[in-house]
Amino acid sequence: MDSPGGRYRLDGRIAVVTGGSQGIGLACGRRLAENGCRVILVGRTAHNLDDAKRLLSSEGLQAETAVCDVCDLAAFASLIAGLDKLDILVNNAGGNRPAPFLEVTVDDFDRLIDLNARSVFFGSQAALRKMIQHGAKGSIINMSSQMGHVGLPTRTVYCLAKHAVEGLTKALALEAAPFGIRVNAVAPTFVRTAMTQGYFADPEFANFVDSHIPLGHCATPEDVADAVAFLASDAASSITGTSLRVDGGWTAQ
């Protein structure tokens, strides 16, 4: 029988992490690699991926990289199809353009839905095909948000997209279960990363966030990565179709 720690190990498995060159994606790649996984970091910018690879190498960890825009559905499907096998997909790539509802443009809407929902849907489709093809009892993990559960002013499109991710996670979990493939979401609160640092430069926004997190602090990329690694592992072998909220209690209110 495996030791309790052994159930968290990912030796011999292959994971693809989108948006993997920095922030939450890089933290997820690091944690999966630490647990023995062969990790492929996917991002749009070669030099950012090279920096991420060098950083992990300096920590004694190995990672492969692939330059690909997940919104190019054919290119990402081709990347997945070209792998020897796939055990874990972390749909982490995402972004936001906060704006009051009456100021949201069609371009804003299309870009956010394309990146945060459409790419997740079809990326998962490519991954599921690959996992079924090779008989992998795999795990698809969608990066959602606390805004997949609650609303927030100036983030209507982001909330729309993340609620869609939550719905997709539940429905796809039911279709994937007969193949032994699990589908879950991780829903963080605000995390201080390169993507959010501009928001936190506004003291009013920073105070608003801190006052709405009962634990009194934002999640770290490592907090989110721990949740992802858990859901990827055999320790979560009976968990599918759910959303693990790493939100410090925000949505409990």
Rounded (5°) CA angle 90-76-70: 65
Out of 137, 162, 170, 199, the active site residue is 162
- Which residue do the tokens 């948006």 mark? 19
With helix as H, strand as E and coil as C, how does the chain read?
A: CCCCHHHHCCCCCEEEEECCCCHHHHHHHHHHHHCCCEEEEEECCHHHHHHHHHHHHHCCCCCEEEECCCCCHHHHHHHHHCCCCCCEEEECCCCCCCCCHHHCCHHHHHHHHHHHHHHHHHHHHHHHHHHHHCCCCCEEEEECCHHHCCCCCCCHHHHHHHHHHHHHHHHHHHHHHHHCCEEEEEEECCECCCCCHHHHCCHHHHHHHHHHCCCCCCECHHHHHHHHHHHHCHHHCCCCCCEEEECCCHHHC
Would residue 158 show up in a list of annotated catalytic residues for this protein? yes
Is 144:186 a contact under the CB 8 Å cutoff? yes
Rounded to whole angstroms, the Cα distance separating 196 from 190 reads 8
Out of 8, 158, 170, 199, the active site residue is 158
Would residue 162 show up in a list of annotated catalytic residues for this protein? yes
Q: Which residues are catalytic?
A: 158, 162
